[in-house]
Amino acid sequence: MSAVPDTSWRHVTDLSGKTVVVTGCASGIGRATALQFASAGAVVFGGDRNEADGVAAIDAIRQAGGSGQFVKLDLTDGASIDGFVDQVMAAIGGAPDIIANVAGLDRVMPFLDNTPDVWELLAKVNYIGPVRMIHRFLPRMLERGSGKIVTVASDAGRVGSSGETFYAGTKGAVIAFTKSLARETARAGLTCNCVAPGPTDTPLFNGTIPEGKLRDALIRAIPLKRLAQPVEIAHTVVYLATPATDFMTGQVISVSGGLTMHG
C-alpha cells in the first residue's frame, strides 16, 4: 500500500530545499517576495539591475538564517538575461523549481504624451524581458516534469488605468501570456499563475503617485481604505508557488483591498 501523502498545512506551505528565482529583488514587492520565499525555506536567486540594494536584500536573507545569491539582471538587455539564466542554472545544476517574475516599471502620463522610447522601456521590463527569461528556463523545467511559474501583473492590466495606458497593456500581456503558458505546460506537470496587485506602498508607486489629492482619492476608493504593503502581495506570490496550489493553474489573483472586485 502506498503511503498517504502529507497534506498538513505545514507541509503544503513548506518550500525547504526548493530553488526560486525572484526578479526585482532590490526593493518593493520583489524584495518582500525574496524574503518571504527564504522564510518558507527556499534558496533564493535574486535578480535586479540595482546591484547594491539587491545584494543588501540577499544579505538580509542570510542574516535571518536563509540562503540566497544575488545575480545581476537587467531585463532590458538580452545579454544580461542570458547571463543571468546561465549563472543560475550553473549554480543549481538545472532549472529552478520556481520562477517568480516580480520586476516591473511604470510611467504615469496621458497616452498622447507617451513616446516610443517609453513604450520600448516598459515593454522590455514588464513583458519581453520576463518572457525571454522564462523561455530560457522552460526546457529544463519541462524535462524535469515539475515547476511553478508565478508572474506579477497589475490590476491595471485587468481593468485599465487612466494615465497608465501602455503600462496596462504590458501587464495585460503578462496575464494573457501566463494563461496561455499554463495551457501549454499543464500536461508536463507545471503550473503558471499570476498575481495582480492593486495600489501598493512601494518606491515605484510612491514615485509615480506622491502624497496629495490624487493619492488620497485613490485610497478612499479602496474598500479597505489603505494601500497594500509589499509583504501582503508577496504572501500571495509565495502561496502560488507552494504545494498548496498544485491544482491551480492559469489563474489571476487580484490583491487590491477590494478595489477591483469582480465576479
Mean pLDDT for 180-203 is 95
Percentage of the chain lying above the pLDDT 90 cut: 81
Classify residue 222: in a domain, yes or no. no
Of the residues 84, 167, 177, 239, only one is catalytic, namely 167
d(CA 52, CA 123): 25
- Of 159, 178, 154, 153, residue with least CA distance to 261: 159
Classify residue 225: in a domain, yes or no. no
Mean pLDDT for 238-257 is 96
CATH classification at residue 103: 3.40.50.720
User: Considering its fold, how many domains does the chain have in total?
Assistant: 1
Mean pLDDT for 75-99 is 98
- The overall average pLDDT reported for the chain is 94
pLDDT tens-place string over residues 17-39 = 999 999 999 999 999 999 999 99
Report which residue type is found at 42: A
CB-based contact 19:96 (threshold 8 Å): yes
Classify residue 5: in a domain, yes or no. no
Classify residue 262: in a domain, yes or no. no
* Amino acid 5: pLDDT: 67
Classify residue 240: in a domain, yes or no. yes
* Amino acid 224: pLDDT: 92
What is the band of 209 on the pLDDT scale with cuts at 50, 70, 90? confident
Q: Which residues lie across from 254 on neighbouring strands?
A: 196
* Amino acid 262: pLDDT: 66
| Domain hosting residue 249, numbered range | 16-200+230-253
Here the cell at position 55 is 545584494
d(CA 61, CA 31): 10
In the DSSP assignment, the letter for residue 200 is B
Classify residue 119: in a domain, yes or no. yes
pLDDT for residue 55 is more than 60: yes
* Amino acid 217: pLDDT: 85
Q: Which residues lie across from 148 on neighbouring strands?
A: 98, 191
239 among known catalytic residues: no
